Amino acid sequence: MAMIELRNVKKCFKKPVRKPGILGMFKTLFSMKYTVTEAVKDISFSLNEGEIVGYIGANGAGKSTTIKMMCGILTPTSGEIYVDGYLPYDPKQRKHVLGKIGVVFGQRTQLWWDLPLVESLTILKQIYDIKESDYQERFDFIKEVLDLTPFLSQPVRTLSLGQRMRADLAASLIHNPKILFLDEPTIGLDVLVKDKMIQAIKDIHQRYHTTIVLTTHNMDDITDLCQRVIILDEGIILYDGPLKMLKNKFGDIRHIKFTCKEKFDTNVFKHHFDGLCDVVLEDETYSIAFDISKISINQVLKVILDNASVSDISIVENSLESIVKTIYETKKY
Q: Which range has highest mean pLDDT (37-41, 116-120, 200-204, 223-227)?
A: 116-120
**pTM, two decimal places:** 0.78
The per-residue pLDDT for range 115-157, each reduced to its tens digit, is 999 999 999 999 999 999 999 999 999 898 888 999 999 999 9
CB atoms within 10 A of CB 244: 11
CATH 3.30.70.1150 domain locations along the chain = 251-317
In whole angstroms, how far apart are CA 139 and each of 8, 144, 147, 261, 328?
A: 39, 8, 11, 58, 42
Percent of the chain whose pLDDT exceeds 70: 91
Lowest mean pLDDT among 26-35, 39-48, 192-201, 250-259: 26-35
**3-state SS, residue 328:** helix
**pLDDT above 80 for 234:** yes
What pLDDT does residue 21 have?
Answer: 67
When pLDDT is cut at 50, 70 and 90, the band that residue 26 belongs to is low
What pLDDT does residue 78 have?
Answer: 93
**3-state SS, residue 286:** strand
| Closest to 54 (Cα-Cα) out of 201, 169, 193 | 201
Alpha-carbon distance of 101 to 276, in angstroms, equals 49
CATH 3.40.50.300 domain locations along the chain = 4-247
Let me know if 149 is exposed, middle or buried by CB neighbors in 10 A (0-12, 13-18, 19+): exposed
When pLDDT is cut at 50, 70 and 90, the band that residue 316 belongs to is confident
Q: Specify the amino acid at residue 212.
A: I
Q: What is the CATH number of domain 251-317?
A: 3.30.70.1150
**pLDDT above 90 for 290:** no
**pLDDT above 60 for 10:** yes
Higher-pLDDT residue of 12, 275: 12
Higher-pLDDT residue of 117, 22: 117
Mean per-residue pLDDT, 254-278: 81
What pLDDT does residue 330 have?
Answer: 66
**pLDDT above 60 for 257:** yes
Is the domain defined by 4-247 classed in CATH 3.40.50.300? yes
